[in-house]
Structure 1
Amino acid sequence: MSDLSFVRTEMLPEKEPPASTVGAIGWARENLFSGWFNSILTVVSLTVIYYVLSTLLTWAISPTWSATSLGECRDILAEVGREGHYAGACWGVIRDRWIQLLFGFYPSELYWRPILAFILLGVALAPVLFSDKVTPKLLWFSAVFPFLFPWLLWGGTIWAPLAVIAGFVIGWFVYKAVDASAGSLAGIIAAVVAAVVWWMFLSGYVVNGVPNPDDPNAVGGLNALLPIGIEAVESRNFGGFMLSITIGVVAIACSLPLGIVLALGRQSDLLIVKALCVGFIEFIRGVPLITLLFVASTLLNIFMPPGTNFDIILRVIIMATLFASAYMAEVIRGGLAALPKGQYEGADSLGLNYWQAQRLIIMPQALKISIPGIVSTFIGLFKDTTLVSIIGLLDPLGLSNSIRADAAWNGIVWEIYGFIALMFFVFCFAMSRYSMYLERKLHTGHR
């Protein structure tokens, strides 16, 4: 009997997978046509999408870019055989008013200042957002930019931002002096008090001199000694996306550190500190933002000394910052609660004090965990800047009402709101993409 056994001595070459299981066809079979019910849903969805897109594109592709009024838009559409109220978009309003939607009523000869400010904003954010790709030497510029930014936008004397910087310098020296003898907590309190006293009571005399009752317009102090500055622009001229970005950027930049302090205060063992932080967070989170904006625009002046000129945009920025910081504190507190107890014990075993442990071990991990919530709060805050139109500030939505009140553009709705929505989408989508990039970079997710 012969032996018919056979052992293969070489491997067979790999074959290509079936075309129906890979590529676009395979993806479609698995996700869109995996069963009769999914197939029906796919066909219905594609039909609806086709109908919506075809209608939207027909409306959006309109030869009205050069029109100077709504009536002229309708005449242009009628010439190409497109009749009806929704025959086509009237893009002439965007061509005519896009600068106003961006800058509001800011003086046209000074447009270079907000443009330069926002370009420098990107430079200042680069070492913070992309620390591994940008030289860390730019961090010095990032530290100076918060004082340069308002000076470029509002103008005035250069001594005003320098006086603000001087307050931080004074607070630092006071902290170092008190910390050496009375401890860090007493040093922080003394530093805050010294900086506030300088800003509220002393800096004005240093910059502008002692007021002269006989001559209210008299200039003294450093302004008289070295009158260095640029043309001042009043806040009522601010508007459009420049106003929204200004409020959003400042509130975002200030709410994160304030939220960290509130989160740490809420977990503090000091009863008074904890009670104050809990009371602040719960009160702010229980009040709508629009209520705080009304307080900023109307009621706040009642509690100020007579004759006090408290800038309305500054009031709005303060309220938006306080509102966002309360939500930020809860997001960060969630990140702190998610850390294993061993991280705190490890910091104690290394002999680190409270602030060293928070700076080197606890807070970096808590912030990594909290990245999605932090960015969501930022996006929500930036979109909430449109609420300032209710208190009379001319953000893009407020300007849209002014534009539609013009007889030439009375009746325009979708074109203006669509342009505003597109601009907000660009900023918010960019923030969400950066959040995902940061999560991948820091390996936040589980693998």
Structure 2
Amino acid sequence: MARGGGAQVTIDGAIRWARLNLFSNWWNSALTILALYLLWVSVPSFLDWAIFDAVWRGENREACIGPGKGACWAFVTANIEQFLFGRYPVEERWRVMTAFVLGVAGLVPLLIPRVPAKRWNVIYLAVAYPLIAIVLLAGDRPGLVGVDTDLWGGLLVTLVVAVTGIVASFPLGILLALGRRSEMPVIRALSIVFIEFWRGVPLVTVLFMASVMLPLFLPEGVSFDNLLRCLIGVALFSSAYMAEVVRGGLQAIPRGQYEAARAVGLSYWQTMGLIILPQALRHVIPGIVNTFIGLFKDTTLVLIVGIFDFLGQVRAQLSDAMWVTPQGAATAYIFAALVYWIFCFGMSRYSVFIERRLNAGRVR
């Protein structure tokens, strides 16, 4: 009887929720019915094309050509290594996997709140890991063959650009936000000029200038790697937007917090590090993560300067004569969208987790 009663309560709760949220009035009811009809029409046919009628194995395009053939996932499985590594030498790809594993080994404990030794974790990720990753990926050291960045591609480039931009833009954005609110006119003016300049130009222009125009202004014989120039441009561009997000959090802190810190004799940096910034950053977690997500998706723009990121590598493989099929492009782009969605959705859900954890102590 208890089980039956519980099931009845669940059913009644579901009916009540549907009445309140889906059929509360004639307009919501019409929209609900329309949405259900569109799902009924589109979802079964999409599932047939993407799963049930799809081709999962094959050696070439012939496997995906024919009546009734759905998505050509055989194209994805055949080119998955190019999607991940680009033209990185096959015999050296263990270095990419090693760098990835070392990065995950440092990142996962940092993201889990209850894992101790966070300070050493941050030092490892901010100091030791970048040096290790550069040595592994670029090589040109005793025992490692040098791999030019022109051979990098696929998800490798996407992660390098995104992670570098996120890690560099966050502290730069905090410093710029503090500088914009500084009482020193010179610091405030320089911060404002920097922020407004980078916010006033599109990222495409930044990448084009960094890749094509910057070498023209360098002294003869001095050059920077193309990928490095793009990394610097992305970091500076993203830091300007991050600064405005952080500034919004700083403005939300009551003036009394500053006055209380001064009353107990704290210096400016002690006040910011111990009192103001922890509160401000907690207020703007959604904005910070939204900036990170936008940066991750904007990595696709590096293709315009000849760097093949994940999406660029997917597009490049579509020109392979062995896999030219009518459904090849749709399959490839759906796969690319799924990969980007997994990363962006993961960041979004983690931000929700952090928000709930930080607000748990404030719930009354």
Compute the TM-score of the two structures, normalised by the length of structure 1. 0.75
In the alignment, what sits opposite 1:254? 168
| 1:308 Cα deviation after fit | 2.1
In the alignment, what sits opposite 1:73? 64
| 1:92 Cα deviation after fit | 1.4
Letter in 2 for 1:113: R
Match among 266, 282, 295 for residue 352 of structure 1: 266
Letter in 2 for 1:150: I
CA distance in 1, matches of 2:180, 2:19: 52
Conserved in 1, the CA contact under 8 Å of 2:199 and 2:241?
yes
Deviations 1:267-312 (A, max 9, x none): 1122221111110100000000000000011001011121223111
Deviations 1:342-388 (A, max 9, x none): 11001101101111111111111111111111110000001000001
Match among 109, 112, 137 for residue 94 of structure 2: 112
Tell me: CA distance 1:105–1:16, structure 2 relative to 1, closer, same or farther (3 Å): closer
Letter in 2 for 1:148: I
**Percent of residue pairs identical:** 45
In the alignment, what sits opposite 1:341? 255
Match among 108, 120, 124 for residue 106 of structure 2: 124
| 1:113 Cα deviation after fit | 1.2
| 1:400 Cα deviation after fit | 2.5
* Equivalences, count: 354
| 1:426 Cα deviation after fit | 0.5
Compute the TM-score of the two structures, normalised by the length of structure 2. 0.91
Deviations 1:92-111 (A, max 9, x none): 11011111001101111111
Deviations 1:18-50 (A, max 9, x none): 759733233223322334443333222111111
* Pair 1:435 & 2:334 matched: no
Match among 56, 59, 64 for residue 55 of structure 2: 64
In the alignment, what sits opposite 1:308? 222
Could you list the runs of 5+ residues in structure 2 that have no partner in the other structure? none
Letter in 1 for 2:89: P
Tell me: CA distance 1:63–1:370, structure 2 relative to 1, closer, same or farther (3 Å): closer
In the alignment, what sits opposite 1:154? 138
CA distance in 1, matches of 2:181, 2:238: 19
* Pair 1:289 & 2:208 matched: no
Q: Tell me which of the two structures has the higher relative contact order, counting C-alpha pairs closer than 8 angstroms and 6 or more residues apart.
A: 2
Deviations 1:390-420 (A, max 9, x none): 1111112222332122212234211111111
Conserved in 1, the CA contact under 8 Å of 2:165 and 2:238?
yes
* Pair 1:52 & 2:42 matched: yes
Secondary structure at 1:351 match in 2: coil
In the alignment, what sits opposite 1:424? 340
Could you list the runs of 5+ residues in structure 1 that have no partner in the other structure? 1-14, 158-227
Match among 113, 116, 124 for residue 141 of structure 1: 124
Higher mean displacement: 298-307 or 27-36: 27-36
Structure number with higher helix proportion? 2
The list of structure 1 runs, each at least 4 consecutive aligned residues, that deviate by more than 4 angstroms after superposition, is: 15-21, 444-447
CA distance in 2, matches of 1:23, 1:71: 53
CA distance in 2, matches of 1:60, 1:16: 38
Tell me: CA distance 1:141–1:17, structure 2 relative to 1, closer, same or farther (3 Å): closer
Match among 133, 144, 148 for residue 234 of structure 1: 148
CA distance in 1, matches of 2:244, 2:153: 32
Tell me: CA distance 1:135–1:20, structure 2 relative to 1, closer, same or farther (3 Å): closer
Match among 13, 29, 37 for residue 19 of structure 2: 29
Match among 277, 287, 302 for residue 191 of structure 2: 277
In the alignment, what sits opposite 2:320? 406
Conserved in 1, the CA contact under 8 Å of 2:56 and 2:73?
yes
